[in-house]
Amino acid sequence: MYDGQEFLRDKRWCLSRRALLAGAGAVGAAGLLSACGGGDSSAGAAAAAPGTVLAHTGDVPVGGGTVVDGVLVVQPVEGTFRAYDATCPHQGVRVGAPRDGVITCPAHNSTFAVADGARLGGPAPKGLTEIPITVDGTTITRA
């Protein structure tokens, strides 16, 4: 059994300064990579299943939209509704409702057109994935 002093003198339990700094650096790098990795873990494939009511036509402003269950429902022009997976194709962060006809990802500012989900700028490699919907009266449903 070790007493306190003998434990401190035993080289098997001591880390070198280099090993300590390397370990601390590895932990810091892992944290940094995880912060830049997947983004919002609640994002991903659109969660709303076919048949899910997404919104009512009066809830979706002209030129704007709303995010419901991972689906972004927009009204580019009056009476025309479209829906996109609300997941940015860059790193999986959920996009927000459009402003002035532009959908923006809050993570790295990729931008997309409200009319067709096309990529306008930023690091996203492609546009948003369109989700099929049906409009029956005032109800917008995932097809």
Q: Where are the domains of the chain?
A: 4-36, 53-142
| Band of pLDDT at residue 20, cut at 50, 70 and 90 | very low
- What mean pLDDT is predicted for residues 37-54? 64
3-state SS, residue 103? strand
> Parallel, antiparallel, or unpaired: how do β-strands 133-136 and 102-104 relate?
unpaired
C-alpha to C-alpha distance for 142 and 30, rounded to whole angstroms: 39
C-alpha to C-alpha distance for 73 and 126, rounded to whole angstroms: 19
- Between 79 and 5, name the one with better pLDDT: 79
pTM: 0.68
Mean pLDDT, rounded, of the chain: 81
CATH superfamily of 53-142: Rieske [2Fe-2S] iron-sulphur domain (2.102.10.10)
For residue range 84-93, list pLDDT tens digits in order.
999 999 999 9
Q: Is the pLDDT of residue 45 over 60?
A: no
pLDDT at 8: 52
pLDDT at 12: 53
- What mean pLDDT is predicted for residues 101-127? 97
C-alpha to C-alpha distance for 120 and 118, rounded to whole angstroms: 6
pLDDT at 48: 85
Q: Is the pLDDT of residue 1 over 60?
A: no
C-alpha to C-alpha distance for 132 and 12, rounded to whole angstroms: 64
